[in-house]
Structure 1
C-alpha cells in the first residue's frame, strides 16, 4: 500500500498534469490536504513531505491540531459548516474560512479576530447546484454579500468556494464549475482582494482545474479512507 508521502506526491502530480492539460500556469492551483479525523502522526508525515496547507471540518478537532503544531509555516483552512457559537475559536486560530454563507457569521468572525492578528481570509460558500441539502449562498446573492463583507477590517474577502454535485455526468459538473468561474471573474472586477476559487475534490479535480479553480481539497486520496468521527 502506498504511504502518505507517495499518495501526496501522486495528488500533486495529478494537479500539475491537469494544469498543463488545461493550459493553466504551473503551480497556480494550491492543494489543501483535508486532514479531518486524521491523527497527528498522519499530518506530521504530510508536513515532512512538504505539505503546508491543511483543511479541517470540525472546530474542536481542528483547533487542537493548530495548537499542537504551532507552526507559522503551516496554513490552516476551516472548510466545514460553522455555527455561531463556534466562531470565536475559528477566528482566533485559523488562517482561512471557506464556508461563510451569511452576514451574521462574518460579523462575528470579524469581531472575534484578534486585533494584532493578520486579517482572516474569507471565502463565500456558493450553492451552485441549488441542492437543498447543501449550505451556501445562491449565485445571485454573492455580489451583495461580498460588498457587505468587504467593509470588515479584520476580514479579507478572497473569493468563493463550492462543493460539486455528485454525478457521473461530466457535462453537468463542467456547467456548474464554469458558472463559478464566471462568478469569480465578476467579483474580481469589483473587489481588488478577490483571487481565489476553492473548488474540486478527488472525484472532480480535472473539471475544477479546467474551469479555473485555484484551490482543490483532497483528503482520502492522501490520508486513506476517512475514519468515523
Structure 2
C-alpha cells in the first residue's frame, strides 16, 4: 500500500508528463490536494511531502483542521471548493485564501462585504455549469458576462478565474471538450474585463484525479486531486 508521499510523487509525475505533452512550463499548474473528510494526520503527511495548498468542502470540518494546522512560520493555503450557502459566507471569508465555488452574484457580494480588512483580498473563481446539468450548481455560460463584470468591481475579493466539474467522460478527447469550452469562456471574459479596465482572470480550476491530463492539455492552472493522493475518502464523523 503506497504512502501519501508516494502517491504525491506519482501525481506530480503525471502532471509533469502532461505539461510536457502540452508544451507548457513545468511550474504552470498548482496541485491542490482535496483533503475533505481526511484527518489532520493525512494533511500533515501531505505537507511533509511538499504540498501547501488544500481544498475543503465543509466549513465546520475545515474550521477545525485550519485551527489545528496553523503555523505562522509556514502557513498553508486553504481553498474552499464545495457548495457555499449564503448563511455561511462569513466564515468562508474569514478562513480561506480561495473560494472556487461562487455560483451567483449574491455569494460574491457577501464574501466581499465579510472579508476582514486585515486580510489580503479573497481569491475567487466563478463556478460554471459547463455541461448544463440540471442537478449541478454553477452559472450558465450565458450568465457569466454580467456576473463577472459585477464581481470584478467588488472590494475585498479578487476575481481570479473560472471553475468547473464536468460530467465524467471515458476518452481523453471527450474529456478535453468541456475544458476547452471553459478556457474559451475565460478568454472571452478577459476581453470584456480588459475593456472595462478590470484585471483579467488568470486561473482555470479544472481537472481531478480521473481527467487531469485532459485539463492540463486545455490550460488548467489548478488541478484538484483527492483520491489519487489520499486514497478513498474517510467517512465523516
TM range (shorter): over 0.9
> Residue 53 of structure 1 corresponds to which residue in structure 2?
53
1:9 to partner: Cα distance? 1.1
Among residues 126, 129, 138, which one is paired with 2:128 in the alignment? 126
Structure 1, unmatched stretches of 5+, are: none
C-alpha displacement of 1:118: 0.5
1:13 aligns with 13
Contact 2:173 2:214 in 1 (8 A): no
For the residues of structure 1 that align with 2:45 and 2:119, how far apart are their CA atoms? Answer: 28
Residue of structure 2 equivalent to 1:147? 149
Runs ≥4 residues deviating over 6 A? none
Return the offset for 1:173.
2.1
CA-CA distance at 1:187 after TM superposition: 2.4
> What's the CA shift for 1:150?
1.0
| Secondary structure at the counterpart of residue 124 of structure 1 | strand
2:209 pairs with 1:202: yes
Distance 1:193 1:114, change over 3 A: farther
- Local SS of the residue matching 1:97: strand
Unaligned runs of 5+ in 2: none
SS at match of 1:127: coil
Find the counterpart in structure 1 of residue 32 from structure 2.
Answer: 32
* TM-score, normalised with respect to structure 1: 0.97
Q: State the SS of the aligned residue for 2:123.
A: strand
How many Å apart are 1:198 and its aligned residue?
0.1
Structure 1 residue 193, shift from structure 2 partner: 4.2
2:91 to 89, 92, 95: 89
Does the 8 A contact of 1:96 with 1:120 survive in 2? yes
Give me the TM-score of the superposition, normalised by structure 2: 0.93
RMSD, aligned CA: 1.1
Matches of 2:15 and 2:172, distance apart in 1? 18
Shift of 1:40: 0.4
The number of equivalent residue pairs is 229
Q: Are 2:98 and 2:124, in contact at CA under 8 Å, matched by a contact in 1?
A: yes
